[in-house]
């Protein structure tokens, strides 16, 4: 008789065959020896049934059908991997199989993958558990020698199943309920709600609201040029007796009072002499720890602009296709304590790609098995850190090579000594005013050598020339000049994928309850394997848009969060919900909480939220006053969740004037500014306005006008005919010929449009708004854009993100769309001197 071993992934199945030994015959879906049949899933291959699988009527989303709470949850194979499920089921029914060994990953999700397959097959075979934290052959053989009884894992399986069912209950019911309340029967509009994705979205929206409400404050900084025997340096004014308080914008170099700043500047007039003192100290910097997936995604986004999803794809390719790295979907940054020998062989193998720096830790005996930053079983959950394998190098594409290089250098560098720096802090005092300068010299590169860094030549810091005996005792410096810089505080930046991944990982810090925060400290919002997917889902559902590397919430996102607040379902927007679930799931794992009690509690929560969704009604008492006026009778409009409207929705009696009016805050998938709505209400029209969005997410510009008969807002794309998307060019006179296409250039109220006629067929390949980000585009610049593909440098565009004006060129793409091209940044103060110094060095070298 034989044991059927089910691994989570095909690669693990192959590793198990190599480790247990014996002769294995390879079949299409499994390997077989005298003692074992080893097969695998491909991750999740079984899922919970959908509502329509219980009742076909639930294929249609109806509020009346909610909440949907199955009496007993049913399972079904995932359609795209059903063949894999059928193969495992067939193996389970073989007469010669007497035991099933669960060899899925050691953790909650691995347990769920196996238990769902086992339940759906209705197998009665006894179960054993192969619990592996390391994939070395020795560790695998040891795990086979110490197989656990399947019953020992019951609590872990219960916790996994409870999490799965709870996510189903909240996700299915809240998504359907909120969608029907916000969008009714409008096709294509889905308001996805989930325990992880909704708090993640709330983090992004909260940051956006901070940016929108931010009010800049003026401050002044003073930068002074000092001259000594060996050269010149700059110092920055430091406020005396500075103490950092609750004001996050307060800094030791920021002066908040202009008169005070000018008084300090006045004391610098006449080129006075400064007394100079300095302090030297040594600093050590250890190498960064090994990568987990989130850290790898974060750094790849910062360095190369890769999305979290793209980084995961590249890492999966390196793992599955090339077999050059270990399993990437991990939240651990440590290695198993039995891994030193594997580490040494891997380092030797990396010599072919990194050179001698890779083998130095082995030759110098720097691989220390007792280093708990590297080898630590307590810091390993389902998987260990991402490192290279000892497999030979394969041919990689450019992006794969970048990720492999990151992983390889991080792996090699952690076994190197710390880098050592000499830090000099210099204070130049003038009339009791202190100006600070810092210099940093690399004395010993240590692990930085893996990244190509070497000791600064002769230990000299080019940015901070050394004091000389000629400067006196105490040393003195001459003030060569100074600059009083007027600046203002800036709002917090929008999230990038890198910073959002950090926020998701550290979401437990936002939870006030210590027990809940402690339950989240290992995971945060989502897992390393799911965070990229969550971000992509938010983008796919049009809650978030990418603006270069920034992630911007859409009006749809704000509408969802406002609605959840209105129905008192804010718990769905906060990480505390995940913290509470994790706390209770850990209790289920420890046998301290019954799984049925947890699911019953989630059912109660679901019923309560659905009831709030169904019964939500905004009353007049809930409306907020505004300064907008109704265009019908001049009466004030009041702000509701989605619109500015008159009070009272009652239809007037026959013969009475209907004075009901409402104007929505979001028009054309764009959140309207109150000033824009005010102009529309007072003048009956406004525009052209940028950044409306089509259903496909494509931006467009248009005028808006208020139809006096229907009292509805309509679009005007150029000829005043409301929702028509094209102008009637037969009634218009072209202003020029397009040098690019040979077509006619027309000037509509909203845009410049190039029309090309091919026989009787009319196309408009190029359309450029006449007003972009509050900046009028004159006709001569439009013609330059058509002729050269680029305008002159235009000023006074207004950034919706930073709330600041900026200068840019407009460029014309092959698609007919325009993009911004930014001029080079102005050199910072002091950069000119550095450039001159570099040029002088280059001249000497050439001579």
Residue numbers annotated as active site: 327
202-206-211 Cα angle (round to 5): 150
Structure tokens of 735?
């202003």
Query: Can you say how many angstroms the Cα of residue 666 is from the centroid of all Cα atoms in its chain?
Result: 25
Q: How far apart are CA 560 and CA 191, in angstroms?
A: 7
Query: Can you say how many angstroms the Cα of residue 5 is from the centroid of all Cα atoms in its chain?
Result: 38
Cβ-Cβ contacts under 8 Å for 3 (sequence gap 6 or more):
35, 36, 37, 97, 98, 99, 100, 101, 128
Structure tokens of 817?
């769309």
Helix (H) or strand (E) run with residue 98 in it: strand 97-103
Query: Can you say how many angstroms the Cα of residue 682 is from the centroid of all Cα atoms in its chain?
Result: 41
Cβ-Cβ contacts under 8 Å for 342 (sequence gap 6 or more):
136, 390
The neighbouring-strand residues paired with 548 are none
Query: Can you say how many angstroms the Cα of residue 729 is from the centroid of all Cα atoms in its chain?
Result: 45
Q: Residue 116 in contact with residue 18, Cβ under 8 Å?
A: no
Q: Residue 607 in contact with residue 177, Cβ under 8 Å?
A: no
Q: What's the DSSP call for residue 257?
A: -
Q: How far apart are CA 160 and CA 94, in angstroms?
A: 28
Q: How far apart are CA 252 and CA 236, in angstroms?
A: 10
Q: What are phi and psi of 805, to 5 degrees?
A: -75, 155
**Phi-psi domain of 189 (left: phi exceeds 0; alpha: psi -120 through 50; beta: other):** beta
Q: Which of 660, 657, 701, 707 lies closest to 681, judged by CA?
A: 707
Q: Which of 829, 837, 831 lies closest to 465, judged by CA?
A: 837
What residue has token string 């020698």?
A: 145
Q: Residue 810 in contact with residue 772, Cβ under 8 Å?
A: yes
> Which of 322-341 are b and which e, b meaning 16 or more Cβ less than 10 Å from the residue's Cβ?
bebbbbbbbbbbbbbbbbbe
Q: What's the sign of the alpha-carbon dihedral 425, 429, 434, 437?
A: negative
Structure tokens of 391?
């497999």
Structure tokens of 616?
């939500």
What residue has token string 């007037």?
A: 652
Q: Residue 460 in contact with residue 271, Cβ under 8 Å?
A: no
Cβ-Cβ contacts under 8 Å for 838 (sequence gap 6 or more):
none
Q: How far apart are CA 281 and CA 228, in angstroms?
A: 22
The neighbouring-strand residues paired with 705 are 685, 714
491-493-498 Cα angle (round to 5): 160
């Amino acid at each position: 008789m034989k044991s059927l071993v089910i691994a989570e992934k095909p690669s693990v199945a192959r590793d198990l065959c190599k480790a247990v030994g014996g002769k294995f015959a390879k079949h299409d879906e499994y390997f077989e020896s005298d003692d074992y049949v080893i097969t695998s899933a491909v991750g999740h291959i079984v899922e919970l049934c959908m509502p329509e699988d219980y009742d076909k009527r639930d294929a249609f989303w109806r509020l009346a059908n909610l909440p949907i709470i199955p009496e007993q949850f049913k399972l079904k194979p995932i359609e795209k991997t059903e063949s894999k499920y059928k193969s495992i089921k067939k193996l389970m029914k073989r007469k010669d199989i007497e035991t099933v060994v669960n060899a899925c990953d050691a953790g909650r999700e691995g347990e769920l993958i196996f238990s769902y397959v086992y339940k759906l097959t209705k197998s009665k075979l006894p179960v054993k558990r192969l619990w592996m934290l390391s994939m070395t052959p020795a560790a695998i053989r040891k795990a086979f020698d110490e197989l656990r009884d399947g019953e020992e894992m019951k609590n872990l399986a219960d916790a996994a199943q409870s999490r799965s069912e709870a996510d189903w209950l909240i996700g299915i019911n809240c998504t359907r309920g909120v969608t029907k309340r916000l969008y009714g029967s409008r096709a294509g509009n889905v308001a996805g709600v989930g325990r992880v994705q909704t708090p993640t979205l709330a983090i992004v929206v909260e940051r956006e609201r901070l940016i929108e409400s931010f009010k800049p404050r003026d401050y002044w900084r003073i930068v002074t040029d000092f001259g000594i025997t060996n050269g010149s340096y700059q110092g920055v004014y430091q406020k005396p007796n500075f103490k950092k308080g609750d004001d996050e914008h307060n800094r030791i170099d920021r002066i908040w009072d202009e008169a005070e700043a000018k008084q300090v500047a006045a004391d610098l007039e006449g080129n006075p002499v400064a007394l100079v003192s300095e302090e030297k100290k040594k600093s050590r910097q250890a190498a960064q720890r090994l990568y987990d997936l989130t850290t790898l995604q974060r750094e790849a986004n910062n360095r190369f602009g890769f999305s979290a999803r793209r980084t995961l794809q590249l890492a999966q390719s390196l793992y599955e296709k090339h077999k050059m790295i270990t399993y990437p979907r991990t939240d651990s940054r440590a290695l198993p304590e039995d891994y030193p020998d594997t580490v040494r062989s891997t380092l030797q193998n990396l010599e072919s790609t990194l050179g001698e720096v890779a083998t130095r830790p082995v030759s110098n005996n720097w691989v220390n098995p007792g280093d708990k930053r590297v080898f630590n079983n307590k810091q390993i959950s389902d998987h260990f850190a991402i490192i290279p394998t000892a497999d030979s190098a394969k041919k990689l594409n450019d992006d794969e090579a970048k990720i492999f290089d990151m992983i390889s250098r991080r792996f090699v560098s952690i076994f190197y000594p710390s880098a050592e720096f000499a830090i000099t802090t210099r204070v130049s005092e003038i009339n009791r005013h202190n100006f600070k300068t810092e210099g940093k010299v690399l004395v010993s590169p240590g692990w930085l050598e893996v990244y190509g860094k070497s000791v600064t030549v002769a230990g000299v810091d080019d940015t901070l020339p050394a004091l000389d005996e000629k400067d006196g005792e105490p040393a003195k410096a001459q003030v060569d000049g100074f600059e009083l810089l007027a600046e203002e505080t800036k709002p917090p930046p929008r999230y990038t994928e890198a910073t959002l991944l950090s926020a998701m990982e550290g979401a437990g810090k936002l939870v006030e309850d210590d027990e809940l925060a402690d339950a989240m400290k290992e995971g945060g919002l989502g897992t390393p394997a799911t965070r990229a997917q969550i971000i992509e889902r938010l983008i796919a559902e049009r809650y978030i848009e990418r603006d270069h590397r920034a992630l911007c919430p859409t009006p749809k996102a704000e509408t969802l969060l406002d609605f959840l607040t209105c129905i008192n379902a804010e718990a769905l927007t906060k990480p505390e919900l995940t913290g509470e679930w994790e706390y209770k799931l850990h209790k289920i794992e420890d046998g301290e909480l019954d799984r049925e009690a947890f699911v019953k509690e989630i059912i109660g929560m679901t019923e309560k939220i659905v009831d709030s969704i169904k019964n939500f009604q905004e009353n007049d008492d809930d409306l907020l006053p505004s300064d907008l006026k109704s265009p019908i009778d001049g009466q004030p409009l009041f702000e509701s969740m989605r619109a500015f409207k008159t009070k009272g929705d009652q239809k007037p009696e026959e013969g009475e004037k209907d004075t009901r009016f409402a104007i929505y805050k979001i028009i054309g998938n764009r959140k309207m500014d109150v000033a824009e709505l005010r102009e529309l209400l007072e003048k009956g029209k406004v525009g052209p306005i940028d950044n409306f969005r089509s259903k496909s997410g494509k931006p467009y510009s248009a005028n808006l006008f208020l139809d006096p008969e229907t009292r509805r807002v309509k679009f005007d794309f150029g000829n005043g005919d409301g929702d028509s998307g094209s102008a009637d060019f037969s009634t218009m006179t072209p202003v020029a010929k397009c040098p690019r296409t040979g077509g006619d250039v027309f000037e509509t109220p909203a845009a410049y449009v190039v029309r090309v006629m091919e026989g009787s067929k009319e196309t408009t390949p190029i359309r450029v708004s006449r007003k972009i980000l509050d900046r009028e585009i004159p006709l001569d610049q439009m013609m330059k854009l058509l002729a050269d593909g680029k305008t002159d440098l235009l000023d006074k565009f207004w950034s919706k993100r930073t709330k600041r004006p900026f200068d840019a060129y407009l460029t014309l793409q092959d698609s007919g769309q325009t993009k911004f091209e930014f001029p080079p940044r102005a050199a910072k103060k002091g950069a000119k001197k550095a450039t001159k110094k570099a040029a002088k060095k280059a001249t000497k070298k050439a001579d």
